[in-house]
Amino acid sequence: MSWKDEYKRKLCSMKEAVSHIKSGDRVVVTHACGEPSAMLDVMVENAARYENVEIVHMVAMGGAKYCLPEMEKHFRHNSLFVGGSTRKAVEEGRGDFTPVYFSEVPNLLRTTLYPNVLLMHLSPPDEHGFCSYGISVDYTKPAAEVADLRIAQINKNMPRTMGDSFIHVSKLDHIVEHDAPIIELQPPQISEVERAIGKNCASLVRDGDTLQLGIGAIPDAVLLSLKDKQDLGIHSEMFSDGVVDLVEAGVITNRCKTLLPGKSVVTFLMGTRRLYDYVHDNPEVQMMPVDFVNNPAVIAQNDNLVSINSCVQVDLFGQVVSESVGLRQISGVGGQVDFVRGANLSKNGRTIMAMPSTAQGGKVSKIVPLIDTGASVTTSRYDVNYVVTEHGVAQLKFRTLRERARQLIDIAHPDFRPSLIEEFEKRFKSKF
């Protein structure tokens, strides 16, 4: 049978597609802006037919209605990265959180959270019958290699991304055509504080460096401060619209990269239609599975790799909390530690934790004598190097505890320095 006939045979309605999910199944879902949210909505509309279905994914962007209290009997969310719409379910014990490095999610799915069903979101097939995983290749491709049942939403708005980013129609079990707009993430408003953090981070970036950037206002502010650099490269878990500006300005060329020169390497994308149009059919952007992109040994093959991530709290020893506020799980490790480790192994690599010096409208310092009770250390004091706030740069690696504390107090908010100095003098039995 030709792939075209196979495609027609597998076509069905969304309602029929989700009817193949059975009570007790584990359903893995493509995440972030690549989420097939229309399919999840239809699954939730038909909740009465399911009991105890486990929904596994990372970043939820489509509302996560299966996390609502009234869905408790039908669905239980197992989160690999808690976010706005899933936080409450985890906090109230109606959902679970599994701590896992992003690079290890494929292994988690192969060995422990074996998917009965995979719900994914693909581009239409090319003339050979290959669909692209589009803007979320990360764990979707590895999951498709092991799932019992593969259900795909085919959407002509999904960009056809290049790289190790394709699945053949013959590997799909059920196909739904649905051309909804792809979820977009609008560029954030950048405050003066974030602009200052961006400038301080940019002072650590050199011409020819390869960058990993997280998500949000700080990475965007860093990109704004890089307009005068030359020949930057990208090897990053994700990127957003800010990278397109720097490619168009001729700043990102990937020319000096020591791994896959000439290519931006990435595992998922979140941004606006402008980003999605930029990556469509663009061989300069290589979308690869996350166990390649985030593998510290692969990251380290990039000389001059600079990783820039954000965090919630740093104590005076340099322990970094990035995913919890006290006992409250607010996100996950994502690729932070993957890239910190990779950057530490990279020749001339640098790892940066960038954060505003205060949180909650200036009421609390993010630099603290001790981390909050119950908080989890995400990046250890052995791995951390540069910490950046709007007040400057602290360089912690290979420094004594006293030197670390002194440098961190120097970049804390001035309102909190006196109490931190008092703590310093008590702890180190010496004048600041």
Q: Is position 366 an interface residue for ligand COA (rule: CB under 6 A)?
A: yes
Q: Select the residue interacting with ligand COA from 35, 209, 220, 237 (CB under 6 A).
A: 237
Query: Residue 296 in 3-state DSSP?
Result: helix
The Cα 210–Cα 98 span in angstroms is: 30
The Cα 71–Cα 94 span in angstroms is: 9
Q: Is position 2 an interface residue for ligand COA (rule: CB under 6 A)?
A: no
The Cα 278–Cα 247 span in angstroms is: 10
Q: What is the closest distance, in whole angstroms, from the C-beta atom of residue 322 to ligand COA in the complex?
A: 4
Q: Select the residue interacting with ligand COA from 112, 360, 373, 430 (CB under 6 A).
A: 360
Q: 152 - beta bridge partners? A: 120, 175
The Cα 46–Cα 31 span in angstroms is: 21
Q: What is the closest distance, in whole angstroms, from the C-beta atom of residue 241 to ligand COA in the complex?
A: 15
Q: Is position 336 an interface residue for ligand COA (rule: CB under 6 A)?
A: yes
Check if 390 is active-site: no
Please state, as a whole number, how many other Cβ atoms lie within 10 Å of the Cβ of residue 422.
Answer: 12
The Cα 12–Cα 9 span in angstroms is: 8
CB nearer to ligand COA: pick between 155 and 309: 309
Q: Select the residue interacting with ligand COA from 34, 159, 214, 289 (CB under 6 A).
A: 214
Q: What is the closest distance, in whole angstroms, from the C-beta atom of residue 82 to ligand COA in the complex?
A: 9
From residue 29, give the alpha-carbon distance in Å to each of 34, 144, 161, 285. 10, 10, 19, 24
Q: Select the residue interacting with ligand COA from 68, 330, 401, 421 (CB under 6 A).
A: 330
CB nearer to ligand COA: pick between 254 and 329: 329
For tokens 């229309």, the residue is 38
Q: What is the closest distance, in whole angstroms, from the C-beta atom of residue 380 to ligand COA in the complex?
A: 14
Segment lying near ligand COA (by CB under 6 A), choices 30-38, 145-153, 275-283, 324-332? 324-332
Q: Is position 323 an interface residue for ligand COA (rule: CB under 6 A)?
A: yes
Which residue out of 35, 104, 194, 237 is catalytically annotated? 237
How many of the chain's residues bind ligand COA (CB under 6 A)? 23
Residue type, 383: D
Q: Is position 307 an interface residue for ligand COA (rule: CB under 6 A)?
A: no
Segment lying near ligand COA (by CB under 6 A), choices 118-126, 156-164, 256-264, 331-339? 331-339
Q: Select the residue interacting with ligand COA from 135, 222, 234, 238 (CB under 6 A).
A: 238
Residue 116: DSSP 8-state: S
Helical pair 401-410 and 417-428, crossing angle rounded to 10 deg: 170
Which among 87, 143, 147 is positioned nearest to 116, based on CA atoms?
147
The Cα 300–Cα 293 span in angstroms is: 11
Q: Is position 325 an interface residue for ligand COA (rule: CB under 6 A)?
A: yes
Which among 322, 328, 312, 341 is positioned nearest to 103, based on CA atoms?
341
Q: Is position 286 an interface residue for ligand COA (rule: CB under 6 A)?
A: no
CB nearer to ligand COA: pick between 112 and 360: 360
Residue 367: DSSP 8-state: E
Which residues does the annotation mark as catalytic?
Answer: 237
Q: Which residues bind ligand COA (CB under 6 A)?
A: 214-216, 237-238, 309-313, 322-323, 325, 330-331, 333-336, 359-360, 364, 366
